[in-house]
Structure 1
Amino acid sequence: MMNKKPIFALNLATLVIALGYSLILPVMPFYMENLGAGGRELGWLTAVYALAQTVCAPFWGALSDRIGRKPIISIGIIGYSISLFLFGLASSFWTLFIARSLSGILSSATSVASLAYVGDSSSEEERSKNMSQLGASMSVGVMMGPLLGGILAGYSLALPFFTGAGISFIAFLLILTLLPESIERSGQTEKRKPFDFSDLKNIIFGSAGMVLILIFVVHFCQTGLQGITGLYVVDKFGFSTKQVGVIWMALAGILIVVQGFLTGPLAKKIGEKPLILIGVFCKALVAFAMVLTTGFVSVLVVFGLFAVSSAITVPTLNATLSKTDNQHKGTLMGFASTAGNLSKVIAPLLTGYLYESNIELPYITTGGIALIGVVICYIWIKNQKNK
């Protein structure tokens, strides 16, 4: 079982990645404008970040299986600090592009190795709980970042980036001093073997393959719903910016509470696989229910259920995936990150085009994809029982 120091250090590292990402969101449009860049350039910055994470996550995961989790987490944190510092110094769009690419490459190192660390260090009974706490730390960072970034930007547009760099460097020092190496502690060093393409085949077509498909489906539904809902409620109901802000704050608050305190106990009580099935079904329910909403209260209730479903599915899927192969936990977490990030590239594009045809169509389509996920999850659970 993990002691308090590693939990604190890991949670801080995860919070820093989320904080550094969300801290710059309210500043970026103004920062881009000062550099003479526009919407097309902002789109490139968003795309290159997601693409870098998608491509590099499996590499970092496999490398953490070879050299250990702590070095990869440390590399990710210090590199992320450097990338934020470069943002603050940027005097051209290309400097921003290089810094954002570096940020995507290195943030994936920390997130993947942190999940693998939890898989190494937690008992099977505690794994969902510890994965959920990492998720709660990420939610705290996402919620705090825009508020802190907006305040700091009042003094200087570059200050949020320098602040994020400083926080990241402090996290790097804490990782170095507080975090023991999980692979050595778990006694698995001699048992590990290099990753090759036969391992990739076993992962994709073995027991982990179904979990990776479910991770893609869940992240696809989450990203698709989150990305379009702000525009949807404004166009359909005429919500004010304050009402939209309340919805996102409520979403973040529910995520933090459920991930931090409820997901672990629920996984113990009813089992991880049934909990995943419930979560994916709730995704479908949320998507279809959004079409039936009539105003602020109903949207708030539906998005509350959306937050609960997100909080119970993602950490539980990660915990389940980490149990499928003790030899390559880092590689598995890398592929999980790739599946999630790939969905974040595809889902916004698809829902955006569908929205132009009919504002209800993204929700109907997402609900249908979630139902396919329910069927996949049911088949997976049934096959596991037969085995």
Structure 2
Amino acid sequence: MKKTIKEQKMVLIILLSNIFIAFLGIGLVIPVMPSFMNDMNLSGKTMGYLVAAFAVSQLLLSPIAGRWVDRYGRKIMIIIGLVLFGISELVFGLGTHVSVLYVSRILGGFSAAFIMPAVTAYIADITSIEERPKAMGYMSAAISTGFIIGPGVGGFIAEYGIRMPFFFAAAIAFVACISSIFILKEPLTKSQLEEISANTKQSSFFSDLKRSLNPRYFIAFVIVFVLAFGLSAYETVFSLFSDHKFGYTPKEIAAIITISSIFGVVVQIFMFGKMVDKLGEKKVIQLCLIIGAVLAVGSTLVSGFWAVLAVTCLIFLAFDLLRPALTTFLSRAAGKEQGFVAGMNSTYTSLGNIVGPAMGGILFDVNIHYPYLFAAVIMVIGLGITFMWKEEQFIESN
């Protein structure tokens, strides 16, 4: 009989800390972008590509890393991922040429490709079917929190030097690695790993991608892509936009993002369940897309610190409510295909994280308002797609 979550609190804390640290690394770069642009004479397009490089490398390695997790074990892949992450952050902090920064972000993407499936599988192995949704919810919260507060943490630490956030991230990654070595134990035996590995050989990345086109999931995955695109494009351009238009410092940018993040998380904790009960997942998703699109346009019109803060708070809230609404639907629709759906969720998120920053950076070089306007168009398209989402699909998925 598997132990309860309370009985495995320390193991879960280590696992959630590992996944949090991995996604913290994605956002750390954002508030110091203007300083890096100025110091190294980089364009907005280059900075967008730099953020997207993380997601590209994660996407490419994820299928292989997932199979290695089943073949060699969960613990060793977590440790390798943390070591790669620590190295990537250290390299970024020491880098003085853009090519070195690209190498750093690619290594960071590789680390996330190892850590995410390994932690997901580890949690699934040690939890009962009844408690697994709760544990996976914790993991989702760790991912969201890491990705969203990364810019805030990076901005505040950057007060001590624009490279300090990366040295800090490297340090906590190595501490997490050492903790994992001594506290985590491989949850599966060698024979169990061999059995799982034999089963996973039957699938491939492209066959999984084809399965994701099933109407039961596809529209939800498209919205996952839209969410990742919108959030990553907004965050990537936000610091550059705030610096160029308002002259905000990294600390001011970090303050806006951190306050907005806290606001979104608090409302999510206390209001999300009630909203879904009253409106249902579909209407919550549509409402969030409408709010996101309107405020993306509004971001180009407002001025003044408090107005920018208010708009940013509401946009983050829309994203924070949209993510769990999608996750709830997908987990209900998945049935016995939880692993497949979780993997494809990660794939479509990575695709959004690739396209969002890249397009945001390109459009920023043309006009600083264009990334927000384009994000609004994408969210309107996503809203239109949800009207193809029949209520019967929710019923059939139960």
Contact 2:288-2:321 at 8 Å conserved across structures: yes
Identity of aligned residues (%): 28
Give the structure 2 partner of residue 312 of structure 1: 321
In the TM superposition, residue 188 of structure 1 has moved relative to its aligned partner by: 11
Partner of 2:227: 218
Question: Matched residues in 1 for 2:148 and 2:25: separation?
Answer: 12
Q: CA deviation at 1:249?
A: 3.0
Report how many aligned residue pairs link the two structures.
378
8 Å Cα contact 2:333-2:394 kept in structure 1: no
**1:342-381 maps to which residues of 2 (within 5 A)?**
342-354=351-363, 360-381=369-390
Q: Of 338, 344, 349, which aligns to 1:335?
A: 344
Paired residue for 2:110? 105
What is residue 78 of structure 2 aligned with on the other side? 73
Q: CA deviation at 1:55?
A: 1.8
Shift in Å, 1:306: 0.8
Task: Give the TM-score, by structure 1 length.
Answer: 0.76
**Structure 2 residue aligned with 1:250:** 259
Task: Name 2:152's counterpart in structure 1.
Answer: 143
Q: Measure how far apart 1:56 and its partner are.
A: 2.0
Distance 1:294 1:33 in 2: 24
Q: Normalised by the size of structure 2, how large is the TM-score?
A: 0.74
Retained in 1: the 8 A contact 2:80–2:111? yes
Q: Tell me the CA shift for residue 282 of structure 1.
A: 2.6
1:384 paired with 2:384, answer no
The alpha carbon displacement at 1:208 in A equals 2.9
Question: Structure 1 residues 135 and 247, CA, compared in 2 at 3 Å: closer, same or farther?
Answer: same
1:53 pairs, out of 27, 40, 58, with 58
Corresponding residue for 1:169?
174
Q: Among 236, 246, 266, which residue is 1:227 paired with?
A: 236
Give the superposed CA RMSD: 4.2
CA separation of 1:96 and 1:226: change in aligned 2, threshold 3 A? closer
Q: 1:69, 1:181 within 8 Å by CA — same for their partners in 2?
A: yes
Confirm whether residue 276 of structure 1 aligns to residue 285 of structure 2: yes
Q: CA deviation at 1:168?
A: 1.0
Query: Are the structure 2 counterparts of residues 325 and 350 from structure 1 closer, same or farther at C-alpha, using a change threshold of 3 Å?
Result: same
Gap regions ≥5 residues in structure 1: none
* Residue segments in structure 2 that go unaligned for 5+ positions in a row: none
Aligned partners of 1:83 and 1:103 also within 8 Å:
yes
Kept in 2: contact 1:288–1:363 (CA 8 A): yes
Shift of 1:312: 1.8
Q: 1:325 to 1:221 in 2, by over 3 A?
A: same
1:11 maps to which of 16, 25, 31: 16
Describe the SS at the equivalent of 1:204.
coil
Q: Distance in 2 between matches of 1:85 and 1:105?
A: 15
Summarize deviations over 1:88-121 as a string: whole Å, max 9, x none.
6668765554443222211232234445555664
Structure 1, 121-130 or 272-281: larger mean CA deviation: 121-130
